[in-house]
């Protein structure tokens, strides 16, 4: 088993990565020393596929387990669901020493984390991520949220987990499109933060796409390590953590303009990365070989890199509404080369428009 420490002073925790870890969550949790009551928050498909080893392991470790089924996907991230979860926790007698365990994708993790952050002013929280995106991204860093009718992730809190238990074997049941979408975040980590990791991805892509378990384990752990190191240096997302937004500025705008229907998040991020690479080139920050490597790897992973399906003018307009915009301008994360990044605050709108035209 791979052990990745996340050092955040009193809020430090470990990310454990290993095939078969689902059954060991109970034993790992008892090592942390929490109260005997646990609520497992998950959704129906994930419970059917992967719930049993987690619940049985928790019970074998002496925990009294309540299971709550959340709506699937983004539908879980509402105040109404949070309220139902608070009710369920109360009914099951969870107290301040109890633990909320999220078993599922990023949506389950975000809702369960929000519930754990707020129930009795905060109880222990464990992430058992089951999608690739959740394993390498959403489960690490303590960002929890529900959606507001006017914008996603608008209501939330920072609440670090006590443990993140990553079992790469669960990815074997993930639908192909979900899996490839998660690869966009994995590739992103390599581009802006770790050149050797990026090279490993280039070399291992066929094995990764075939979901060879040792390859999956190594790559997932590598990405967890990268995200953890960013979170350690910038827990509350002030400066450095913005690097993780690479490809997301234009990606988010594309998602918004296409009504969150045409592309998965990862596909929009892939298009956003392709755009960011071209934009860097246009601004004289990045070279054409870096652009070529980025687009080649994304494409080989089955992700889109051209034909955004959105009008460039509409995308630029959506950019101004970005949550990270200050006075209507969004900072862009750009990659001067593979393994490096630069925050650029004054990107001319014409350069963005021209890049989007090129992409279309």
Ligand X SMILES: NC(=O)c1ccc[n+]([C@@H]2O[C@H](COP(=O)([O-])OP(=O)(O)OC[C@H]3O[C@@H](n4cnc5c(N)ncnc54)[C@H](O)[C@@H]3O)[C@@H](O)[C@H]2O)c1
User: Which residues are known catalytic residues?
Assistant: 121, 143, 185, 227, 237, 241, 245, 248, 252, 265
* Size of residue set near ligand X by CB under 6 A: 28
Tell me whether residue 211 or residue 329 sits nearer to ligand X (CB atom).
211
The reply to whether 298 sits near ligand X by the rule CB under 6 A is: no
Q: Which is nearer to ligand X, 131 or 223 (CB)?
A: 131
Both tokens assigned to 67: 């299971």
Rank residues 211 and 282 by Cβ distance to ligand X and give the closer one. 211
Say which residues have a Cβ less than 8 Å from residue 41's Cβ, sequence separation at least 6: 68, 70, 85, 100, 101, 102, 103, 104, 108, 111, 112, 115
For position 231 contacting ligand X by CB under 6 A, the verdict is no
Check residue 133 for interaction with ligand X (CB under 6 A): yes
Which of 45, 53, 71, 331 is in the footprint of ligand X by CB under 6 A?
45
**Least distance CB 54 / ligand X (angstroms):** 12
- State the nearest-atom distance from the C-beta of 35 to ligand X, in Å: 25
155 binds ligand X (CB under 6 A): no
Nearest approach, Cβ of residue 42 and ligand X (Å): 8
CA 78: distance to chain centroid? 19
Beta-strand pair 332-334/342-344 = antiparallel
Closer to ligand X by CB, 164 or 359: give it: 164
With vertex at residue 53, the alpha carbon angle to CA 8 and CA 10, rounded to the nearest 5 degrees, is 10
Using the rule CB under 6 A, is 268 a contact of ligand X? no
Q: Is the backbone of residue 13 left (phi > 0), alpha (psi -120 to 50) or beta?
A: beta
Q: Bridge-partner residues for 39, per DSSP?
A: 66, 100
- Region of residue 111 (phi > 0: left; psi between -120 and 50: alpha; otherwise: beta): alpha
- Closest contact distance (angstroms) between CB of 108 and ligand X is 6
Q: What helix, strand, coil percent values describe the chain, rounded to 5?
A: 55, 15, 30
Among 4, 41, 58, 108, binds ligand X (CB under 6 A): 108
Residue 46 interacts with ligand X (CB under 6 A): yes or no: yes
d(CA 237, CA 23): 33
How many whole angstroms separate alpha carbon 66 and alpha carbon 93?
10
d(CA 294, CA 199): 11
Contacts of 189 (CB under 8 A, 6+ apart): 136, 197, 222, 223, 226, 227
Closest CA to 113 of 71, 159, 68, 148: 159
Q: Which stretch binds ligand X (CB under 6 A): 107-115, 217-225, 308-316, 344-352?
A: 107-115
DSSP 8-state assignment for residue 159 = -
Q: What is the smallest separation between the CB atom of 304 and ligand X, expressed in angstroms? A: 17
234 to 263, contacts with ligand X by CB under 6 A? none
**Interface residue with ligand X, options 57, 106, 247, 286 (CB under 6 A):** 106
Query: Looking at beta carbons only, is 71 or 336 nearer to ligand X?
Result: 71
The residue whose two tokens read 């009710």 is 87
CB of 265 to ligand X, least distance (A): 6
Residue closest to ligand X when measured from CB atoms: 106
Angle at 65 between CA 60 and CA 71, to 5 degrees: 130
Given 35, 53, 74, 200, the residue binding ligand X (CB under 6 A): 74
Minimum CB–partner distance for residue 118 and ligand X (Å) = 15
**Does residue number 322 form part of the binding site for ligand X (CB under 6 A)?**
no
Closer residue to ligand X, CB minimum distance, 93 or 122: 122
Q: How many helices (H) and strands (E) does the chain have?
A: 14, 11
Which residues of this chain interact with ligand X, rule CB under 6 A?
Answer: 43, 45-46, 49, 72-74, 77, 104-108, 110, 130-131, 133-134, 137-138, 141, 143, 152-153, 170, 173-174, 178
């Amino acid at each position: 088993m791979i052990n990745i420490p996340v050092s955040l002073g009193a809020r430090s925790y470990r990310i454990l990565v290993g095939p078969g870890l689902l059954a060991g969550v109970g034993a790992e949790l008892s090592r942390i020393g929490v109260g005997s009551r646990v609520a497992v928050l998950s959704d129906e498909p994930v419970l059917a596929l992967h719930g049993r080893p987690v619940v049985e392991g928790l019970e074998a470790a002496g925990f009294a387990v309540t299971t709550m089924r959340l709506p699937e996907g983004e539908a879980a991230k509402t105040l109404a669901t949070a309220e139902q979860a608070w009710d369920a926790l109360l009914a099951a007698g969870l107290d301040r020493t109890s633990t909320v365990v999220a078993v599922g994708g990023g949506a389950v993790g975000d809702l369960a984390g929000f519930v754990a952050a707020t129930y009795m002013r905060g109880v222990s929280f464990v992430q058992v991520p089951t999608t690739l995106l959740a394993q390498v991204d959403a489960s690490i860093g303590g960002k929890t949220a529900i959606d507001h009718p006017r914008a996603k992730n608008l209501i939330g809190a920072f609440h670090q987990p006590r443990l993140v238990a990553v079992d790469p074997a669960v990815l074997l049941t993930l639908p192909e499109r979900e899996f490839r979408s998660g690869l966009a975040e994995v590739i992103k980590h390599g581009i802006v933060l770790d050149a050797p990791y990026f090279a490993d991805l280039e070399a291992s892509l066929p094995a990764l796409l075939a979901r060879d378990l040792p390859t999956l384990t190594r790559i997932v752990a590598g990405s967890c390590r990268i995200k953890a190191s960013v979170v350690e240096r910038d827990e509350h997302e002030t400066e450095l953590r913005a690097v993780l937004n690479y490809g997301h500025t234009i990606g988010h705008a594309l998602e918004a303009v296409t009504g969150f229907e045409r592309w998965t998040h990862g596909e929009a991020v892939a298009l956003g990365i392709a755009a960011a690479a071209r934009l860097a080139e246009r601004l004289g920050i990045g070279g054409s070989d870096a652009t070529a490597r980025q687009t080649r790897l994304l494409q080989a992973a089955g992700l889109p890199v051209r034909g955004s399906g959105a009008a460039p003018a509409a995308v630029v307009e959506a950019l101004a509404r970005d949550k990270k915009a200050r006075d209507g301008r969004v900072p862009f994360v750009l990659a001067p080369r593979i393994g490096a990044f630069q925050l650029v605050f004054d990107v001319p709108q014409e350069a963005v428009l021209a890049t989007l035209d090129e992409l279309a």
